[in-house]
Chains A and B, each alone.
Chain A
Amino acid sequence: QLQLQESGPRLVKPSETLSLTCTVSGDSVNRRNSFWGWIRQPPGKGLDWIGSLEYNGRTYFNSSLMTRVAMSIDTSKNQFSLTLNSVTAADTAVYYCARIRQRFWSGSYVHFFDFWGPGTLVTVSS
């Protein structure tokens, strides 16, 4: 059964770097044509896509965050990771990792999140 679990520091100081890891069980992060993603949700607000990571390491980022974000895959540990630098209080959120299902539909490839981790609240505060 597929499971994803986020881990990392729950408290980060302003201007520092947020680092999270998602451990996957029940699937392989280097399975051909697999995609993996990060989404965040500020307290009491809606969902924001942060970025996606292809099995071969190719990345796709939300344009609003792309100057501060990086993602990587560790196939030896079956994990993928998120780093977000120069954080501010506005980056306080529940961070979710998720598996992406890719389909060819209505003339294009589409991506949507079919399995999610439980999420982890990261607070940016001094």
Chain B
Amino acid sequence: IQMAQSPSSVSASVGDRVTITCRASQNINSWLAWYQQKPGQAPKLLIYDVFTLEDGVPSRFSGGGSVTDFTLTISSLQPEDVATYYCLQTNPFHSLTFGGGTKVEI
């Protein structure tokens, strides 16, 4: 299963709504997680099971979608959200596969 993210990069203003898309090459049901990686740091889990926020993640982050098309939305972009975001197909029977990443800038 291949995971394709778009766009590869996005530039927005503080307070803007930002949406990132992840598309699977075949049906992955609802087996999807999202990660945030800031420069020089390890990735951080944001969302799992498509829409469940990990503890401590701000509510401005939300996830949605099913089957092959999924989204990560930042409802009001903040300076600390500058990072690269990755989706992950989470069913181990199909191999764990990351998307190529989306760089979010202000």
Contact = CB atoms under 8 A, between A and B. Distances in A.
B83 to A, nearest CB: 13
Contact of A60 (B88, B92, B100): B92
Interface in B9-57: 29-31, 33, 35, 37, 41-45, 48-49, 54
A119 B37 CA distance: 12
**What interface size band does chain A fall in?**
20 to 34
A52 B37 CA distance: 21
A52 B99 contact: no
A63 B97 CA distance: 11
A63 B94 CA distance: 11
Contacts of A60: 92
Interface of A: 37, 46-49, 52, 60, 62-63, 96, 101, 103, 105-114, 116-119
Given A63-B95, A108-B31, A46 B90 contact: no
A46 B101 contact: yes
Contact of A62 (B33, B54, B95): B95
Contacts of B49: 103, 105-106, 110
A106 B93 CA distance: 14
A109 B93 CA distance: 9
B95 A112 contact: no
B75 interface: no
A108 B97 contact: no
7 contacts: A48-B98, A101-B48, A103-B49, A108-B93, A109-B92, A110-B48, A110-B49
B91 interface: yes
Contacts of B93: 108
Given A46-B101, A49-B96, A112-B88, A107 B42 contact: no
